[in-house]
Amino acid sequence: MSTPTDSSRRELPKIAWIGLGIMGSPMAENLIKAGYDVTGFTLEQDKLDRLAAAGGRAAGSVAEAVRDADVVITMVPASPQVEAIAYGPDGILENARSGALLIDMSSITPQTSVDLAARARDKGIRVLDAPVSGGEAGAIEAVLSIMVGGERADFEEAEPLFEALGKTIVLCGPHGSGQTVKAANQLIVAVNIQACAEAVVFLEKSGVDLRAALDVLNGGLAGSTVLTRKRDNFLRRDFKPGFRIDLHHKDMGIVTDAARSVGAALPVGAVVAQLVASLRAQGDGGLDHSALLRAVERLSGAQV
């Protein structure tokens, strides 16, 4: 990627980035690489130092970060954190300028996104909900899938920015639609990981060469992005978090509650939600969601 000139950098909107975790840090850095002027805020000083080392600017508060921004992007764990940084005298809505675009890329409830858009409208601030899928690797490689809810004009304005972060970028409908699609995504991913974990235990207990088996399975109809991304986690029992069980537990709560509200039955999803909750209760909430394998191993009599 070519280095942007000073003039091209000035033509791009100024970005405030709130939340520099496993996903947020590499995403913010990809915007810097694309030439955006990024000011960030998070609670951890080492993450602010990392942003500054990448060419961004560290702010001392949410209010300071958003004050001069054209676009405010939030990437925090859940609805309570979104509400904490958006509302109140020190929050985004009270300190961002009228006309700014707020893009929430967190995974939260659809209703929280709808409520945020309504309250922001009263302040003259436009909102998109734009959760992502792809995990830490997708964030680093800028190949995320971005599912967006909101007004088409705002989506089109934000599209060049999204293109610096992901490869599949789709406006899914009005406010809250992005979060609804993300909830469905998390349902599919959790069920897929659970199926892969069960297959791994079945294969190993049957004495099959696991590496060879996963290679051939991934070349056929059973293949998936989940299996591609998590294959080495399964083989090495490496559960360093790319996406934590704690967060997937939260997401499974979102999808089961949202499905109940619209009358959609999720029989398999409900079982997997309980398996995720069980793994978390056993102390594995900080591990990668591929650690669902540990739960299957325990049920199968293995000491893990």
Please identify every residue annotated as catalytic: 182
Cα–Cα distance, 88 to 94 (Å, whole number): 7
3-state SS, 215-228, equals HHHHCCCCCCHHHH
Number of alpha carbons in the 13 Å side-chain half-sphere of residue 225: 12
CB of 282 within 8 A of CB of 272?
Answer: no
Structure tokens belonging to residue 208: 């099959």
Cα–Cα distance, 76 to 28 (Å, whole number): 13
166-186 burial, b at 16+ Cβ within 10 Å, e below that, comes to: beebebbeebbbbbbbbbbbb
Helix (H) or strand (E) holding 128: strand 126-129
Count Cβ atoms within 10 A of the Cβ of residue 99 and give its class: 0-12 exposed, 13-18 middle, 19 or more buried.
exposed
Residues in the chain: 304
CB of 68 within 8 A of CB of 100?
Answer: no
Residues pairing with 73 in the sheet: 17, 103
Structure tokens belonging to residue 96: 């961002």
